[in-house]
Structure 1
Amino acid sequence: MKDGIARRTLLASLAAAPLAGWSQASPRLDRITVAGWSKPITEVLPLLVEDDKGFYRAHGIELAYVSGAGSADAIRNILGGQADVAFTDPGTFFAALDKGEKLRAIYDIYPQNVFNVVALKGSGITKPADLKGKKIGVYSLASGTRQALQVLLHSAGLAETDVTVVVTGLLNFAPLMQGQVDATAATDTGLLIGRRRGLPEVNVIEVGKYLPVSSDLFVVREETYVQKRAALQRFLRGYRDAAAWMMQRPEEAAQLAVKRAIDGTDPALNLEIIRLRNAASVSDLTRRSGLGTMDVASLQAAAETYRKLGLIGKPLDVAKSVSQDLLPGRRGEPG
């Protein structure tokens, strides 16, 4: 009898041991908050599926997301302490550096330039010079669409004062279709959604043909780069894993967008958006060196263009504000 009791007691203690060991070994999660340029839409799905996939928890990160209305909002949120990492475009990054902010770009989210300016087929607008004197829509005055427009105007020897800029809101082609603007600056996904909503035939001026530079970067304050270095490394591993999953399992991602993205009600449209973002996430450089690798020479050339535009006032040595050492696989870090 005593042997039976002892045996049951031993088995019970062995059964409880894994639970006790797990409790003691459970890692503390470091919180990283990302300031986005948008609300939680399908385009930023790798930041929205943590409750479903746990990409960041797997690397010891508790992820949070703060919405914005343009890239400038994302920078303001990290400067104001509301977030650790800004999801922002290079032009906004350059403008902040120009003002003396101490920032570091740590990951290239979209190495491809996804911006464009769109006009109806019969408008006669087919090249940047045709924009002179026209009303042009942008998502917001703080968005990358406005800067993309300025780049195109500059390529034709024009300035923003040569056109009338109209704020139309995010992914909104209604003003173009209704004749309230002559053309509108957008992204590839914005154009896709517009076409799905009945946008007729259009002429598309691709900004990347005039300025081949990344569309978006992860940017942090210098202080955050120093103080949260290890957590940022693990955050980037989590993001890399989430982006790779979206490339490998686009159909699954499209279904999760129905639940996690505020614009994700149509799985078929989600899948098209996801495929565009997957394509924008890779380049010849990232294929050689891994997702997130930044093309410093391209960023430097873009900074010089922005100075010529008058968007920044002084020369920038971009290499001093770009740090690739936090990327997965760098300096002995796990790939």
Structure 2
Amino acid sequence: MPFSPSRRALLAAFAGLATLPYARAARAQTPAQGKITVAGWSKPISEITNLLVEPDKGFFKEQGLELVYLPGAGGGDAIRNLLSGQADVAFTDPGSFFMALDKGEPLRAIYDIYPQNVFNVVSLKSKNITRPEDLRGKRIGVYSLSSGTRQNLLVLLHRAGLTESDVEIVVTGVLNFAPLIQGQVDALAATDTGLLVGRRRGLGEVNVIEVRDHLNISSDMFVVRESTYQQQQPLLRAFLKAYRDSAVWMMANPDEAATLAMKRAIDGTDRDMNAAVIQLRNAAAQAIPGPDGARRPLGAFDMAAWQQAANVYHQLGLIQRPIDVSRVLDMRLLPEAINE
């Protein structure tokens, strides 16, 4: 059934487009373009439901693509799988991206997945950890040593005049709050969805240090090798179009997404939990308005914010060389407005 005008307007607003012909029957068939492998930072979990429902919704198939998702354990893992040739696109975090660039890797970011910073550091109230300075001498859990949780923890430590040697970092795994609840760590570097899961699993009263209060930078983006960017632009355009359509679908249909996550996500057995996680990810995907208040299209980079973040990483010594983000962030492949 075609969408009503109000639904079309909603979808167009999400995508930053004038119109978006979203009725599936109206989509033109796209010639086959090939297989595309996405190296993820996680296993197939509910917060990436819009990717996982490809067998059900066929967003990538309609662009002539066969989508393959390669699980990982952190944004650094996604970058390594990209650089090794196992994947065409990395779903990774800014810290892992900056550090790879600092090592001279020829990479380019082509889509800002979550413009909002979703990272935090969580501790039980009894630990009295309320500021980054309070982390000195503490045992702190991270999802993995190559994850955005560790990169953002390093930012907080440097903001407080601390280094990694001032704390003990412990790998706890993704979305695992058991070590915190059981007292095995004093604090846990996590994400908004991780905190949500932890609270649903009996975390209790906690203090939360939000990284965005210290450095508000995007949480994840799509990154490709420079050679892929130069040689496979039609493939990448089709990929970004399909991904944007999948993101818009999840924003407009969170209930359906929560139901499908029960079938497709390894952590999706609780539909109410799925719905809450999807709501957080839909919010994080919203593009931050420009200086004039105008909504940016989904996937667009806030270049000023990204440059500030790169400068901070350099100033704090997390990377050794300054990065000019205008040379490594590219919006030329983003989906454009489509006329009916």
Provide the residue aligned with 2:106 in structure 1.
102
Q: State the identity as a percent.
A: 64
Query: Per the alignment, in what secondary structure is the counterpart of residue 312 of structure 2?
Result: helix
Provide the residue aligned with 1:328 in structure 2.
335
Provide the residue aligned with 1:3 in structure 2.
none
- Answering whether residue 305 of structure 2 is matched by residue 298 of structure 1, we say yes
**Cα displacement (A) at 1:71:** 0.5
**Cα displacement (A) at 1:169:** 1.1
Query: Per the alignment, in what secondary structure is the counterpart of residue 154 of structure 1?
Result: helix
2: CA distance between counterparts of 1:313 and 1:26? 44
Of 250, 261, 271, which aligns to 1:257? 261
Name which one, 1 or 2, has greater alpha-carbon Rg. 1
**Cα displacement (A) at 1:154:** 1.2
2: CA distance between counterparts of 1:306 and 1:283? 23
Provide the residue aligned with 2:220 in structure 1.
216
Provide the residue aligned with 2:18 in structure 1.
none
- Answering whether residue 233 of structure 2 is matched by residue 229 of structure 1, we say yes
The one-letter code of the counterpart of 1:103 is L
- Answering whether residue 169 of structure 2 is matched by residue 168 of structure 1, we say no
2: CA distance between counterparts of 1:157 and 1:283? 32
- Answering whether residue 196 of structure 2 is matched by residue 189 of structure 1, we say no
1: CA distance between counterparts of 2:305 and 2:164? 24
Provide the residue aligned with 1:283 in structure 2.
287
Query: Contact 2:39–2:91 at 8 Å: present in 1 too?
Result: yes
1: CA distance between counterparts of 2:339 and 2:143? 39
Query: Contact 1:89–1:144 at 8 Å: present in 2 too?
Result: yes
Provide the residue aligned with 1:4 in structure 2.
none
Query: Contact 1:129–1:158 at 8 Å: present in 2 too?
Result: yes
Provide the residue aligned with 2:64 in structure 1.
60
The one-letter code of the counterpart of 2:231 is Q
2: CA distance between counterparts of 1:175 and 1:95? 28
**Cα displacement (A) at 1:309:** 2.6
The one-letter code of the counterpart of 1:154 is H
1: CA distance between counterparts of 2:339 and 2:192? 33
Provide the residue aligned with 1:82 in structure 2.
86
- Answering whether residue 119 of structure 2 is matched by residue 112 of structure 1, we say no
Of 141, 148, 164, which aligns to 1:144? 148
The one-letter code of the counterpart of 1:243 is A
Q: 1:168-213 CA deviation, whole Å, 9 max, x = no partner?
A: 1111111111111111100000000001111011000000110010
- Give the root-mean-square deviation of aligned CA atoms: 1.5
Query: Per the alignment, in what secondary structure is the counterpart of residue 313 of structure 1?
Result: coil
Query: Per the alignment, in what secondary structure is the counterpart of residue 282 of structure 1?
Result: coil
**Cα displacement (A) at 1:26:** 7.5
**Cα displacement (A) at 1:27:** 2.6
Provide the residue aligned with 2:158 in structure 1.
154
Query: Per the alignment, in what secondary structure is the counterpart of residue 285 of structure 1?
Result: coil
The one-letter code of the counterpart of 2:115 is P
1: CA distance between counterparts of 2:82 and 2:303? 22
**Cα displacement (A) at 1:215:** 0.2
How many residues end up aligned between the 2 structures? Answer: 309
1: CA distance between counterparts of 2:139 and 2:161? 17
**Cα displacement (A) at 1:334:** 7.2
**Cα displacement (A) at 1:80:** 0.8
Q: 1:221-268 CA deviation, whole Å, 9 max, x = no partner?
A: 011011110110111010001001100000000000011111101111
TM-score normalised by length of structure 2: 0.88
Query: Contact 2:31–2:63 at 8 Å: present in 1 too?
Result: no
Query: Contact 1:285–1:293 at 8 Å: present in 2 too?
Result: no
Of 243, 267, 274, which aligns to 2:271? 267
Query: Per the alignment, in what secondary structure is the counterpart of residue 195 of structure 2?
Result: helix
Q: Which runs of 5+ in 2 are unaligned?
A: 1-28
Provide the residue aligned with 2:243 in structure 1.
239
Query: Contact 1:136–1:185 at 8 Å: present in 2 too?
Result: yes
**Cα displacement (A) at 1:87:** 0.1
The one-letter code of the counterpart of 1:300 is Q
2: CA distance between counterparts of 1:320 and 1:158? 31
1: CA distance between counterparts of 2:66 and 2:339? 19
Distance 1:334 1:289, change over 3 A: farther
1: CA distance between counterparts of 2:283 and 2:30? 37
